[in-house]
Structure 1
Amino acid sequence: LARLSEIDNIHLPSMTTPGAIVIPGALTLAAATADITADDMIAATIAGTEAMTRLGRALDGPSILYRGIWPTYFAAPFAMAAVAARLLRLDAESSAHALALALTLAAPAVGHHSTATTSRWFAVGNAARNGLTAALAAQHGFSSDHKVIEGQLLPDVFGIKPDISALTDALGERITLSEVSFKPWCAARQTMAATQALKEIIAGGVAPSAIEEVTVEVLPPHLKMIDHGVVAGDRVSHLTSVQYCMALAALAPKAAFDIQQAPAKIPSAVQALMAKIKVQADERLLAEYPRSWPARVRVTAGAGRQERTVTHVPGDPALPFDRIGVRKKFLRFTEPVIGAERAERILARCSNALASGEFAALVDDIEQATCRERRD
């Protein structure tokens, strides 16, 4: 469900979303396991993030996604196995078996990502469970081929030639968690640089009502995914349409924080602005891809013309959220669902859990809040 929200974090170079798998998995297991400390939880989160992002890079996640292979889904068992191995305190040999077993349980795809079915979210949750299963199996003596990723499995079955060096490159020298981007609003990350560019142009004095034409230049790999209209009631089509995301940011910015993102009818003003937005690919933007996902926007309004190139959006490592920003984002999305009092209590419990190791209490608060919300 964290992944479903489209407000989770994302590691651009690997095209994976580690937080939505690693943190709920680590928290759930920590709450159910005796004698887990805050340091254990932090170490497990780091281990899971490293596992997912490094495997995503090894598989060339930014390329395989557009072949229909979902990098987060593929890497979820591997990541959760790393989390569980750390929290279960497996030794090096058993941890290696857990990771290798998790790779044998990895699956590449769940069908077309834009369909309205819920199989994608069920599948990714099950993939995380497979990672835990792999770690538990290793704990009880099951073993696997440590060199499975170096063999012909990935090239022959999935058509992927992995970059093995990505699994250990600079390991221990830097923490990948510091390279993870946090989404500032609810949308596909591929749309956000263009949306941010338009927001900055408007903030510079261009009135949305005066806009006559918008030209958007995006990364070639992203073009097909984001250059389209929307279908009423189809949430994914709204989240991935750069025209819709940009028009919404210009005319109804608060709506970008609605995780539902599936209005039965789009306001006529939003539709009119969407029609003025033309999208094209620009090879020049690939210079720093996939470490950054830039976009360029040109706006014609009357006799004036404004251009803005955005490389980093708020929440990226280059423009990180501070504690106040994290708090603001958390409350903005949770208060409408569970109420201000419950949201504040859970936020306080998060800080207390990291200080005290009381993870079971945090999970209980989350479960109680969501159960009450469903009853209400």
Structure 2
Amino acid sequence: MVHQPEMSGAGVGVCAKIADFALRKPAPSFPAEALRAAALQLLDTMGIVIAAAPMEAGRIARETAALLYGTGASRHSARMLFDGRRVSVAGAAFAAATQTDNLDGHDGYSPTKGHMGVAMVPALAALAEAAPQLTGPEALASLVIGYEIAGRAGIALHATVSDYHTSGAWNALGVAAMAARFIGLDDGEFRHALGIAEYHGPRSQMMREIATPTMLHDGSGMGALVGLSAAVLAGNGFAGAPAITVEAPEVAHYWEDLGRFWQVTRQYIKPYPICRWAHAAIDGTRALCLAHRLAPAQIARVRVNSFHHAAALFAGMPDTTSKAQYSLAFAVATMIIHGRIGVEHISGAGLEDAAVAAMLKRIEVVESARHSARFPEGRWADVRIETMDGRVLESGDVHARGGPEAPFTPDDIIEKYMEFAAPVLGQARAAAIRDRILGLTMRESRFGDLASLLYDPPASQRHDAA
């Protein structure tokens, strides 16, 4: 029996409201707009999970899960996405979230300064392994719950602490809420699960990772691991309440609109596998090059003005994929040279591209107080290009594409998914996954029909293993 701390005060009332939302709100009562958005977020994130499967960080994460996070109880086991080996449900979520986190092309939410789907999608896939009758709408509703709770926990955390923590710190609470719904925790156990998830969530320093980019990225692998572990711990009687980002009086107003305002419908979709902070600069450069039909040889100098965090991104020619994804000047140079930024540009031979390295020397990045004042609500930049023949071309203020300010259409998201998924899985399997994810909004759909496509490794991976 879980020892229940005294439940009194407004904070406990907030937690009770969240528990009612997470544990008992039926899928048919979620707005159709929110479920459709969740399906598109799932599709977008799954494309990044797939594209990241052959990458070194994903391979290491899966090997580590197999070594450290096995399980003796089948109800707490799950297969790893695009790998197939069975580990604990927490281990499976950890592996896929770490894998996804290391290809920075997944969705995000500006007010949180971070990302939700990177942890919520792996958690859903892992939890669904023990729920073969899970309907499509219920799977999407669970995903929405994770997004809504993680997003508000993230905003509350940023508003009440001095350091800038990675997404894993608050993603842990969203994952714990999803797991609580699947496991069937009661309200008291749910409260403890949130407290455990917050306490053990990885409060890793984001700007430390920006200064020295590595495979640590945004902490979401550990956030997923902690969130799932928290729910299981609470279900077994482990006490950990309260969660301060939920129950502290100063954060109560961040939870008032839960169930009325749907954050899942306000996510941004990334057109490039690059830190979102660089996207406005990339988009401004892209627009000028297209509008004036600029060839790389015509460009003499590029000046990018952006906000403080964008100006702090990696400045040189990267020698690792992690540095490439946390770059700005390199990303702008890549866009000028290639007209797009794909996985091939931030890995392998792309890190030794002589034309990009030469263009990089012509690019200057400067902080603008005007743009810094609008962060994190917006990610703004303006770009000035001087041409070899003496013209000066200016983009004006540009906001990154893909968010509510300049949204992608469903067709844009589908096209992006296929661009990332098809080279790894092949056109037929990628298209089958696409169709089944988009079909999850149908009442008669089953998540298991999608799950049957998610575990076998890509053909190239099977060949490597052999």
2:348 maps to 1:250: no
Supply the distance in 2 between the matched residues of 1:300 and 1:126 (Cα, whole angstroms). 45
- Deviation of residue 14 (structure 1)? 0.9
Of 300, 303, 310, the residue aligned with 2:390 is 303
- Deviation of residue 371 (structure 1)? 4.7
The question of whether the paired residues in 1 share the 8 Å contact of 2:140 and 2:440 is answered with no
Match of 1:229 in 2: 316
The question of whether the paired residues in 2 share the 8 Å contact of 1:81 and 1:98 is answered with yes
2:291 maps to 1:204: yes
The question of whether the paired residues in 2 share the 8 Å contact of 1:213 and 1:299 is answered with yes
Match of 1:40 in 2: 138
- Deviation of residue 271 (structure 1)? 2.0
1:224 aligned partner, one-letter code: A
Supply the distance in 1 between the matched residues of 2:154 and 2:266 (Cα, whole angstroms). 14
Supply the distance in 2 between the matched residues of 1:121 and 1:243 (Cα, whole angstroms). 19
Q: CA distance change for structure 1 residues 340 and 62 in 2, over 3 Å: closer, same or farther?
A: farther
Q: What secondary structure, in the 3-state scheme, does the structure 1 residue paired with 2:394 have?
A: strand
Q: What secondary structure, in the 3-state scheme, does the structure 2 residue paired with 1:345 have?
A: helix
Match of 2:101 in 1: 3
- Which moved further from structure 2: 187-196 or 53-62? 53-62
Supply the distance in 1 between the matched residues of 2:274 and 2:339 (Cα, whole angstroms). 12
Where structure 2 has 5 or more consecutive residues not aligned to the other structure, the ranges are: 1-98
Match of 1:312 in 2: 399
Q: What secondary structure, in the 3-state scheme, does the structure 2 residue paired with 1:278 have?
A: strand
Q: CA distance change for structure 1 residues 122 and 281 in 2, over 3 Å: closer, same or farther?
A: closer
Match of 1:143 in 2: 239
- Deviation of residue 236 (structure 1)? 1.7
Alignment RMSD: 2.8
Q: CA distance change for structure 1 residues 149 and 265 in 2, over 3 Å: closer, same or farther?
A: closer
Match of 1:177 in 2: 264
Match of 2:168 in 1: 73
2:429 aligned partner, one-letter code: R
2:385 aligned partner, one-letter code: V
- Deviation of residue 243 (structure 1)? 1.3
Match of 2:356 in 1: 270
Match of 2:301 in 1: 213
2:190 maps to 1:95: yes
- Deviation of residue 4 (structure 1)? 1.5
Match of 1:367 in 2: 455
Of 105, 111, 131, the residue aligned with 1:13 is 111
- Deviation of residue 109 (structure 1)? 2.0
Supply the distance in 1 between the matched residues of 2:252 and 2:386 (Cα, whole angstroms). 47
- Which moved further from structure 2: 165-174 or 195-204? 165-174
Supply the distance in 2 between the matched residues of 1:145 and 1:38 (Cα, whole angstroms). 32
User: Could you report, residue by residue, the CA deviation over 1:116-146 in whole angstroms, capped at 9, with x for unpaired residues?
Assistant: 764x279642431221122223334433322
The question of whether the paired residues in 2 share the 8 Å contact of 1:187 and 1:256 is answered with no
- Deviation of residue 40 (structure 1)? 2.2
- Deviation of residue 294 (structure 1)? 0.1
- Which moved further from structure 2: 322-331 or 352-361? 352-361
Supply the distance in 1 between the matched residues of 2:403 and 2:441 (Cα, whole angstroms). 24
Q: CA distance change for structure 1 residues 193 and 262 in 2, over 3 Å: closer, same or farther?
A: farther
2:415 maps to 1:328: yes
1:220 aligned partner, one-letter code: H
User: Could you report, residue by residue, the CA deviation over 1:13-71 in whole angstroms, capped at 9, with x for unpaired residues?
Assistant: 1112101101121132123225433332222211111222212211228996xx5x542
Q: CA distance change for structure 1 residues 147 and 250 in 2, over 3 Å: closer, same or farther?
A: closer
Where structure 1 has 5 or more consecutive residues not aligned to the other structure, the ranges are: 153-161
- Deviation of residue 359 (structure 1)? 2.0
Using structure 1 for the length normalisation, give the TM-score.
0.86
User: Could you report, residue by residue, the CA deviation over 1:196-246 in whole angstroms, capped at 9, with x for unpaired residues?
Assistant: 0011011111513211111111102332224x10233x1122222211111
Supply the distance in 1 between the matched residues of 2:172 and 2:422 (Cα, whole angstroms). 32
Supply the distance in 2 between the matched residues of 1:318 and 1:82 (Cα, whole angstroms). 29
Q: CA distance change for structure 1 residues 319 and 41 in 2, over 3 Å: closer, same or farther?
A: same
Supply the distance in 2 between the matched residues of 1:241 and 1:101 (Cα, whole angstroms). 35
- Which moved further from structure 2: 16-25 or 281-290? 281-290
- Deviation of residue 7 (structure 1)? 1.0
1:145 aligned partner, one-letter code: A
Q: What secondary structure, in the 3-state scheme, does the structure 1 residue paired with 2:209 have?
A: coil
The question of whether the paired residues in 1 share the 8 Å contact of 2:111 and 2:376 is answered with yes
Q: What secondary structure, in the 3-state scheme, does the structure 2 residue paired with 1:215 have?
A: strand
Matches within 5 A, 1:122-141: 124-141=220-237
1:24 aligned partner, one-letter code: P
Supply the distance in 1 between the matched residues of 2:175 and 2:300 (Cα, whole angstroms). 49
- Which moved further from structure 2: 86-95 or 178-187? 86-95
Of 355, 358, 365, the residue aligned with 2:446 is 358
Of 83, 86, 94, the residue aligned with 2:178 is 83
Q: CA distance change for structure 1 residues 11 and 264 in 2, over 3 Å: closer, same or farther?
A: closer
Q: What secondary structure, in the 3-state scheme, does the structure 1 residue paired with 2:318 have?
A: coil
The question of whether the paired residues in 2 share the 8 Å contact of 1:40 and 1:86 is answered with no
- Which moved further from structure 2: 335-344 or 134-143? 134-143
Q: CA distance change for structure 1 residues 295 and 38 in 2, over 3 Å: closer, same or farther?
A: same
Higher relative contact order (CA 8 A, sep 6+): 2
The question of whether the paired residues in 2 share the 8 Å contact of 1:216 and 1:280 is answered with yes
2:378 maps to 1:279: no
Match of 1:157 in 2: none
Q: What secondary structure, in the 3-state scheme, does the structure 1 residue paired with 2:419 have?
A: helix
